[in-house]
Structure 1
Amino acid sequence: MTERQRGGRAAKAEARREAILDAAMAEIAESGYRATTLAAVAARVGLTQPGILHYFPSKKHLLIGVLEARDQWDTAAILSRSTDVKLSHLEQIVEFNAERPGVVQTYTALAAESATGQHPAREFFTERYAAARAAFTGFLHQEFGDRMPGGLTPEQAAPLLIAVLDGIQIQWLLAPDEVDMPAAFRNLVTLLTAAERAEDPADLR
């Protein structure tokens, strides 16, 4: 097999893998993880169940693939703007998510399900939230120093910021015509930065 043939086959396999992940996201968003079957995903993408297992050895592997793909998209959305992450850059993720409600619905449903029993995504979300708290703490330190304008430390503020992001997503999913997700996040940034400006001696003159 030539290098060109191998490259074409690899590209085809990657496209098929992405199609399976898209189908899995849609199925989980509609039915939840526990009710989702490999057969249903296979039917959506036009494959047999063994065809799905060729790319993902089990339903759990497929679930982790869905979650990892979602995180890769979010990371790409940030890095496309800057490697120096600030609150304003998180807005790009919020805007990006507003264009893909199915992915947000899948992620939100899985995050909630993972808190119950021995869910296969429990470890993933436990580690992801720990990593998110650490990352948010880091960029809040970089942007505000050791204290936020309201007096909280970045370590104290990080889980609250994550909670706001997740909470806005749920409200938006339930009432998309009433909740403007990107605008709601911009309002949060305004609150934080307005408090920072109010503490600036230059603004008191």
Structure 2
Amino acid sequence: MTADRPHGGRREEILRAALDMIAERGYRGTSLDAVAEAVGLTRQGVLHYFPGKQQLLAAILERTVEVGRGDLPPHRLQADVPGQLAAVVAHNRAHPAFAQAYSVLMAESATAGHPARDVFRQHYRQVLDEMTRGYTERWGERLPSGLTPHAAAVAVLALLDGMQQQWLLDRDRTGDPEIMRAVLTVLFGTESPDLQP
């Protein structure tokens, strides 16, 4: 059954099946046997591509972060920061399975002994540091709103995650990118003409 499939194609198929299951059932509710059945392999067939469930989890986390950042990662500033982050929100809405898997894993990682706990902790520290550094380079010790760069970075991350959680519960919402732009325009102010792209 697998002879005509390229290695990368089968690996991607396993990754996507596992991601969809985790989005619906969580990490602990997803088994290698269920993933194997979904893609028409045995458990050993899945283990050929991913030596264990934690290696599969690591690949999913890497992919969800990669997809979530899109082409406009929030910690690499563009001239129009509110517009940049509104585009990140719109991008995540276009990839709901990845957004849901990321949110489910992030929530689960707060529980004791979850294998993704350290990954999420390091991810958030890294993104927070990069955003803080970017805001400091752009605005100095205070943003136009009066917030420190660190406080603004914490607030922006909370807004991104909270808005995504709300949208996952109510997918009829369509105005989140515009709301993000409006709120962050208050936070960051408007850019001077020389910073426009």
The alignment's TM-score, normalised by the length of structure 1, stands at 0.81
Aligned residues: 185
Task: Give the counterpart letter for 2:151 in structure 1.
Answer: Q
Higher helix share: 1
Question: Gapped runs of 5+ residues in structure 2?
Answer: 193-197
Distance 1:42 1:181 in 2: 37
The alignment's TM-score, normalised by the length of structure 2, stands at 0.84
Residues 98 and 182, structure 1, Cα contact 8 Å, conserved in 2:
no
Structure of higher CA gyration radius: 1
The 5-angstrom pairing of residues 1-205 of structure 1 reads 12-78=6-72, 84-85=77-78, 87=81, 88-178=83-173, 180-194=175-189
Task: Give the counterpart letter for 1:180 in structure 2.
Answer: G
Question: Structure 1 residues 28, 175: closer, same or farther in 2, change over 3 A?
Answer: same
Question: Structure 1 residues 93, 187: closer, same or farther in 2, change over 3 A?
Answer: same
Hey, which bits of structure 1, 4+ residues long, moved more than 6 A?
A: none
Following superposition, the deviation at residue 110 of structure 1 comes to: 0.6
Partner SS for 2:71: helix
Task: Identify the range of structure 1 (160-169 vs 35-44) with the bigger mean alpha-carbon deviation.
Answer: 35-44
Task: Give the counterpart letter for 2:25 in structure 1.
Answer: S
Task: Give the counterpart letter for 1:129 in structure 2.
Answer: Y
Distance 2:50 2:176 in 1: 33
Distance 2:188 2:131 in 1: 16
